[in-house]
């Protein structure tokens, strides 16, 4: 099997671990937007904004650092054990600190006390399973990884439907059920799913003899801390808008904005699936003679698939809108979707480009680039939301990720030059943007929009037919 084919095979399997959970979450969006008012949906969004922020803090870049040193170390068990002990101990210390200052912290983050306690439970459990999950990926066990991920989301989805749909519809007698606080049950469902995931991965805590290496820990920490800062900046880029909008424009607007933002989930799924397969692949194949050529080819096909998704989703945006966000009160924010889709495609390209600073151990550049994006996001939102409304947040996301993408390419060519097929990549991006603009102005004429999708696919087939045949024959 060729290197490229193996990459795509692993990415497809990891994609299932991402696509199916995201699709199940996609199923939940109509449930949530149908059962929750925009204000309550805003509370749900705020909960997961803080979850993302604390998740980055609690893992402090250890996952990526683990991949880097596990792939090249001769003492793999010691790397695994050190990383596992590190995250487990810091998660326990975090839990103790939160217990001591529980009320003060809940007030600080402006969360209901019960919501905050549920958040802490989810955070601690999700943190301690990061390294076991990373171990499954690093040792080439995508099926086990996928099975556990799917069990997590199945529990979460089933409990969501039980609490938000089954109990009200069938009048099930559930003690202490509060129909005026439905959003709480979303968080309870998440905690239950995290507990089961922890129990399924618990054997990996005893898989090897636990031993902590100060030398390895220092290496992991030095490599990981810049990744953590970059991760925090990424969280700001993704969530600052949803944190700011409730205060500036109100929870109703934030709920509508967040609901429509979910329509970009398909692009997010594609990017996440790519990252799950790509990160260990890039590290494991870095020493191969034709590694850079392989990376360049993967980038080209990433852009082709991503550009195709951009055209397809925008061509049938009204259908996706009706399927995903059924409550018309949310549709006031639908115009953000094309901008957010393109922003996420730029982010995916940036993630692909980011291999240069990970392989050269220059992770501080990832930190710098992410900080640039965060500054753009913060400044643009603060200045422009009051002037042009919530659409400013979508544009801020696109400008931030576009800038990060361009800067990463520039520095990457300087420190780890990969011969990317720049002409093809820019051509496909330009084609996708042009077709998308046309699709947005056809008044949802699906015959014409289907023709636009076929034009894109036809050109890809004509231009890439020979190379695709060669790849499939290997």
Report DSSP letters for 165-211, one per residue. IIHHHHT---TT--TT-THHHHHHHHHHHHHHHHHHHGGGGGSS---
Mean pLDDT of the region 346-371: 84
Q: How far apart are CA 396 and CA 378, in angstroms?
A: 8
Closest to 394 (Cα-Cα) out of 350, 320, 343, 439: 343
Half-sphere exposure of 19 (CA within 13 A, CB side): 10
Residue 409 has pLDDT above 90, yes or no: yes
The per-residue pLDDT for 282 is 67
Residue 382 has pLDDT above 90, yes or no: yes
> How would you classify residue 223: left for phi > 0, otherwise alpha for psi between -120 and 50, otherwise beta?
alpha
The per-residue pLDDT for 277 is 63
The per-residue pLDDT for 280 is 62
Residue 365 has pLDDT above 70, yes or no: yes
The per-residue pLDDT for 1 is 47
Q: With pLDDT > 90 as the criterion, what percentage of the chain qualifies?
A: 31
Q: Provide the pLDDT confidence category of residue 329 given band limits of 50, 70 and 90.
A: confident
Torsion, CA 320, CA 325, CA 328, CA 331, rounded to 10 = -70
Residue 8 has pLDDT above 90, yes or no: no
Mean pLDDT of the region 79-85: 90
Global confidence as pTM = 0.72
Question: Tens digit of pLDDT for each residue in 419-473?
Answer: 898 999 999 999 999 999 999 888 878 889 999 999 999 998 888 887 766 655 5
C-alpha to C-alpha distances, 72 to 100, 191, 291, nearest whole angstrom = 41, 35, 16
Angle at 192 between CA 191 and CA 195, to 5 degrees: 85
Would you say how long the chain is, in residues? 474
Mean pLDDT of the region 187-212: 89
Tokens of 304: 């082709």
What is the DSSP code string of 7-55? HHHHHHHHHHHHHHHHHHHHHHHHHHHHHS-HHHHHHHHHHHHHHHHHH
The per-residue pLDDT for 92 is 94
Mean pLDDT of the region 117-127: 92
Q: Provide the pLDDT confidence category of residue 252 given band limits of 50, 70 and 90.
A: confident
Please count the structural domains in the chain.
1
Q: How far apart are CA 233 and CA 310, in angstroms?
A: 25
Q: How far apart are CA 474 and CA 471, in angstroms?
A: 6
Tokens of 394: 């979508």
Mean pLDDT of the region 355-362: 80
Instruction: Give yes or no for a contact between 257 and 241, defined as CB atoms under 8 angstroms apart.
Output: yes
Residue 339 has pLDDT above 50, yes or no: yes
Residue 388 has pLDDT above 80, yes or no: yes
The winner for highest mean pLDDT among 155-159, 177-181, 292-296, 414-418 is 155-159
> How would you classify residue 443: left for phi > 0, otherwise alpha for psi between -120 and 50, otherwise beta?
left
* 276 or 161, greater pLDDT: 161
Residue 265 has pLDDT above 60, yes or no: yes
Residue 15 has pLDDT above 90, yes or no: no
Q: How far apart are CA 191 and CA 184, in angstroms?
A: 11
Which range marks the domain in which residue 308 is found?
3-473
The per-residue pLDDT for 40 is 80
Mean pLDDT of the region 32-41: 78
Cα 139 off chain centre by: 22
Residue with tokens 């500054």: 375
Tokens of 297: 């080819």
């Amino acid at each position: 099997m060729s290197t490229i084919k193996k990459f795509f095979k692993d990415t497809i399997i990891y994609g299932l671990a991402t696509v199916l959970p995201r699709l199940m979450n996609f199923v939940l969006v109509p449930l949530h937007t149908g059962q929750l008012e925009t204000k309550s949906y805003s509370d749900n969004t705020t909960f997961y904004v803080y979850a993302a922020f604390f998740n980055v803090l609690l893992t402090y870049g250890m996952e990526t650092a683990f991949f880097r040193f596990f792939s090249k170390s001769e003492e793999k068990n010691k790397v695994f054990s050190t990383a596992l002990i590190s995250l487990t101990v810091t998660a326990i210390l975090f839990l103790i600190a939160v217990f001591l200052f529980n009320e003060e912290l809940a007030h600080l983050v402006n969360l209901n006390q019960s919501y905050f306690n549920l958040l802490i439970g989810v955070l601690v459990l999700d943190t301690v399973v990061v390294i076991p999950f990373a171990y499954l990926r690093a040792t080439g066990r995508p099926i086990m990884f996928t099975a556990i991920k799917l069990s997590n989301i199945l529990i979460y989805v089933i409990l969501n439907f039980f609490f938000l749909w089954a109990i009200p519809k069938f009048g099930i007698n559930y003690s202490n059920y509060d129909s005026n606080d439905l959003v709480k049950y979303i968080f309870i469902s998440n905690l239950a799913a995290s507990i089961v995931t922890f129990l399924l991965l618990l054997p990996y805590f005893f898989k090897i003899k636990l031993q902590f290496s100060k030398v390895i820990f220092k290496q992991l920490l030095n490599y990981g801390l810049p990744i953590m800062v970059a991760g925090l900046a990424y969280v700001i880029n993704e969530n600052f808008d949803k944190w700011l909008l409730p205060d500036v424009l109100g929870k109703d607007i934030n709920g509508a904005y967040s609901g429509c933002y979910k329509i970009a989930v398909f692009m997010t799924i594609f990017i996440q699936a790519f990252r799950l397969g790509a990160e260990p692949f890039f590290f494991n194949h870095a020493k191969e003679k034709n590694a850079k050529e392989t990376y360049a080819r993967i980038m080209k096909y990433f852009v082709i698939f991503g550009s195709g998704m951009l055209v397809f989703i925008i061509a049938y945006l009204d259908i996706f809108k009706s399927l995903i966000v059924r409550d018309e009160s949310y549709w006031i924010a639908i115009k953000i979707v094309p901008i957010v889709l393109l922003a996420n495609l730029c982010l995916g390209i940036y993630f692909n480009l980011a291999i240069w600073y990970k392989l050269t151990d220059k992770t501080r550049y990832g930190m710098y680039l992410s900080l640039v994006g965060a500054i753009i996001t913060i400044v643009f939102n603060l200045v422009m939301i009051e002037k042009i409304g919530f659409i400013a947040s979508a544009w801020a996301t696109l400008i931030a990720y576009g800038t990060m993408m361009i800067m990463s390419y520039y520095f990457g060519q300087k420190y780890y030059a990969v011969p990317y097929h720049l002409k093809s990549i820019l051509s496909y991006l330009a084609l996708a943007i042009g077709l998308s603009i046309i699709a947005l102005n056809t008044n949802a004429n699906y015959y014409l929009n289907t023709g636009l999708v076929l034009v894109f696919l036809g050109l890809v087939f004509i231009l890439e037919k020979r190379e695709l045949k060669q790849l499939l024959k290997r």
